[in-house]
Structure 1
Amino acid sequence: MYARRRRRYFTLMAICLVLFISAWAFVRLWSVPAAIGMCVVAMVLPPLAVIVGNRREPDDHWWDEPPPPSDRHSS
C-alpha cells in the first residue's frame, strides 16, 4: 500500500523532470511555445504528485487514530 503511493509519486515527479529537461534541452530548438507549454505542464505536476502521494487508499489504516481522551474531570 505504501509502495503503490510512493511509486505514483515518483512516477509523476520523473515525468515532471523529463518534461522540463527535454523542453529546454531540445524542444526549444524547434518550438519555443511548445517548450513553454511543456514547462507549464511540468510546473503543475509537483503539487499533483503530492496530492496523489498522500491520498488515502481504501485499505490504509494509518489515518485511523483513536479518539482523544476526554479532558473532562468528574467532580
Structure 2
Amino acid sequence: MYARRRRRYFVLMSLCLGLFIGAWGFVRLWSVPLAIAMCLVAAAIPPIAAITANRREPDDRWWDER
C-alpha cells in the first residue's frame, strides 16, 4: 500500500520535472507562450502529488497508528 503511494508521487514529480526541463530546454525555442504554459502546469503538480501521496487507501489501518 505504501509502495503504491510512493510510485504515484514519483510519477507525478517526474512528470513535473520533465515538463520544466522540456519547456525551457526545447519548447522555448519554438514557442515561449507554450513553454510558460507548460511551466504553469508543472507548478501545479507538486501540491497534487503531495495530496496524492498523503491520501489514505481504503485498506489502510488508520485507527491504530502509533
TM bracket, shorter-chain basis = over 0.9
The alignment's TM-score, normalised by the length of structure 1, stands at 0.83
Match of 2:29 in 1: 29
Match of 1:71 in 2: none
Paired residue type of 1:45: I
**Amino-acid identity (%):** 69
The alignment's TM-score, normalised by the length of structure 2, stands at 0.94
Match of 1:7 in 2: 7
C-alpha separation in 2, matches of 1:39 and 1:14:
14
Rg (Cα) greater in structure: 1
Structure 1 unaligned spans of 5+: 67-75
Match of 1:64 in 2: 63
CA deviations over 1:14-37 (Å, ceiling 9, x no partner): 000000011000100000000000
Aligned length, in residue pairs: 65
Structure 2 unaligned spans of 5+: none
Match of 1:47 in 2: 47
Aligned-residue offset at 1:65: 3.4
User: Which has more helix, going by share of residues?
Assistant: 2
